[in-house]
Structure 1
Amino acid sequence: MEFKGNEDIEAPIADVFGAISDFEMMERSALRRSIEVQRTGDPAHPEAGLTWDLNFAFRGKQRQARLVLADYSPVTGMTITGGGSGLDGRMEVELVALSPQRTRLSVWLKLEASTLTGRLLLQSLKLARNNLNRRFKLRLADYAGLTEARLKSTA
């Protein structure tokens, strides 16, 4: 199952990359959503590899996942892979400078089942594909808007 989305942000590409690679801020955001996060690695040097162990409730069950920063290309993007509870995923984030003050944020997420339980979970997600696609795009637009607002307030 794949999700794709693009959003334009009114800020230079380097500033946008700095905002999306603020891993400590993302960890705090996850904690506010009742997701337990344990990081391994130094966020000041993410190119050496970061991992996160997550514990969260989804559809009435406690789930666990491990995320790995698989590729880190300063200013242009990053790739995060992960798996847990029968699902494996890969998320690619790419930044493209449209102009000196405008950046396109492109996100691609792919989920695959690795167990029978994962297949059942993925099948139930596929039944709600339209709703999930809409929510993914809304969430990406919201994230881009928050990032743009945060960058404007620090400028």
Structure 2
Amino acid sequence: MEFSTKADIEAPAEYVFDCLSDFQSFEKAALRRGADVQRVDGNAELGLGAQWRAEFNFRGKSREVLVELIEFQTPELATYKATGQGIEATMRVELIQMSKDLTRMTSTVSMEAKTLPARLLLQSLKLAKGQIGKRFDGMMVDYGRQLEKRYSKIS
């Protein structure tokens, strides 16, 4: 199953990429939502092989996911692989500089089930794919607007 969305952000690609690479802010946001996120690779720097372990509740059950940065090209591409509970997901975020202060962010998430319970979970998600896709689009557009506001304050 795959979701894809595009959002145009009124900020330079370097700025958007720097914000997308600020994992400490993502970790804090996850903590505010009740998830526990910890860096597990032992490196302080961001780069290929960076790994995080996340624990959160989903559909009434505690879930654990290992996330690894598998592709990283400043300032245009970051790809993450998440594995856990029989599901393997890949998230690819690509930035294209449209003009000096306009960046197109394309986000794609693909999920694949590795076990029967995971197939059942993905099947139920497929039934709500339209609704989930709209939420994904909305989240990416909202994130883009937040980045625009932050950029307008510093420029």
Check whether the contact 2:54–2:64 (CA below 8 A) recurs between aligned residues. Answer: yes
RMSD: 1.1
Q: Secondary structure at the match of 1:47?
A: coil
Over 3 Å counting, the alpha-carbon distance change for 1:113 and 1:52 in structure 2 is: same
Please give the alpha-carbon distance, in whole angstroms, between the structure 1 residues aligned to 2:53 and 2:85.
12
Give a deviation string over 1:48-70, Cα, whole Å, max 9, x none: 42111011000011111000000
Q: Which residue in 1 is equivalent to 2:102?
A: 102
TM-score (norm 2): 0.95
Letter aligned with residue 43 of structure 2? D
Letter aligned with residue 71 of structure 2? D
Letter aligned with residue 22 of structure 2? D
Q: Which residue in 2 is equivalent to 1:84?
A: 84
2:30 matched to 1:51?
no
Give a deviation string over 1:24-58, Cα, whole Å, max 9, x none: 11111111111111112435x21242111011000
Please give the alpha-carbon distance, in whole angstroms, between the structure 2 residues aligned to 1:47 and 1:38.
16
Unaligned runs of 5+ in 2: none
2:2 matched to 1:32?
no
Give a deviation string over 1:119-144, Cα, whole Å, max 9, x none: 01001101111110111101111111
2:142 matched to 1:142?
yes
Letter aligned with residue 36 of structure 2? E
Letter aligned with residue 80 of structure 1? Y
Q: How much has 1:150 moved relative to structure 2?
A: 1.6
TM-score (norm 1): 0.95
Q: Which residue in 1 is equivalent to 2:117?
A: 117
Q: Which residue in 1 is equivalent to 2:43?
A: 42
Please give the alpha-carbon distance, in whole angstroms, between the structure 1 residues aligned to 2:100 and 2:112.
37
Q: Secondary structure at the match of 2:120?
A: helix
Letter aligned with residue 34 of structure 1? G
Please give the alpha-carbon distance, in whole angstroms, between the structure 2 residues aligned to 1:148 and 1:84.
33
Q: Which residue in 2 is equivalent to 1:131?
A: 131
Q: Secondary structure at the match of 1:37?
A: strand
Check whether the contact 1:92–1:108 (CA below 8 A) recurs between aligned residues. Answer: yes
2:5 matched to 1:2?
no
Check whether the contact 2:51–2:66 (CA below 8 A) recurs between aligned residues. Answer: yes
Check whether the contact 1:76–1:94 (CA below 8 A) recurs between aligned residues. Answer: yes
Q: Which residue in 2 is equivalent to 1:15?
A: 15
Give a deviation string over 1:52-104, Cα, whole Å, max 9, x none: 10110000111110000001111011000011012110010000000011000
Please give the alpha-carbon distance, in whole angstroms, between the structure 2 residues aligned to 1:154 and 1:35.
31
Identity %: 40
Aligned length, in residue pairs: 154
